[in-house]
Structure 1
Amino acid sequence: MNDTIKKKCLMCNEEFSVSRDHLWKFLCPTHTQEFYIPLRRNHSFQSALHLIELAILLDDIEMLRDRFMGKPREEPKVSEGFRSVVGTAEWQKLKETAAV
């Protein structure tokens, strides 16, 4: 039994092979690399799929590049863990203990 099947890319309509355990893939490897992977950094699978389908429907791939992939990534939230202790009385005690 063949472990791959043929699918058509939603963007270029070209056939590509995909393994049977990756049936969720809907873009050829080139378009997956260019669009899907960057979109998944900020969007869920379903959201990325809808954005790609919308761009295809509107025949405006540039909109996809400009508005969704080009948006600046949000800075990750940093835990205040260590920073919240610096400068407090507990921090001063720790410094004094370490100096001994």
Structure 2
Amino acid sequence: MNNLVEKQTEILNSLLQIMDSSVNGEYQSLQCTFDYYRAEDDNSVSIGEKFFYKKDDELKSEFLIYKNKAVPELVKELHTVMENHTGGNWKEFTLTLDENGKAHTKFIYE
């Protein structure tokens, strides 16, 4: 079980690194909501993302910058690991790095 928790942490850290490198310069906080949708008819998966960061007390929207399909692959992997670990089937989650440099997650389940 510990390996699954470590894998989840590793994936979340990779997503945080992508979020951090997507901002040019300093920021106060980061927040990204990732959507996960699996079609029932053919099991195809769709991943979405909404990324914001706070700079000078102003919330700004930006695209995540990543190579190939890094973010969709990480989100799919996280969903699979968590589903195998807990049986939970979340449809979205928000990953936040607050002003104190502390990471937070909030998962929304079906």
TM-score tier after normalising by the smaller chain length: under 0.3
| TM-score, length basis structure 1 | 0.28
Structure of higher CA gyration radius: 1
User: TM-score if structure 2 supplies the norm length?
Assistant: 0.26
Structure number having the greater helix percentage: 1
Between 1 and 2, higher relative CO (CA 8 Å, sep ≥ 6) is seen in 2
Higher relative strand content:
2
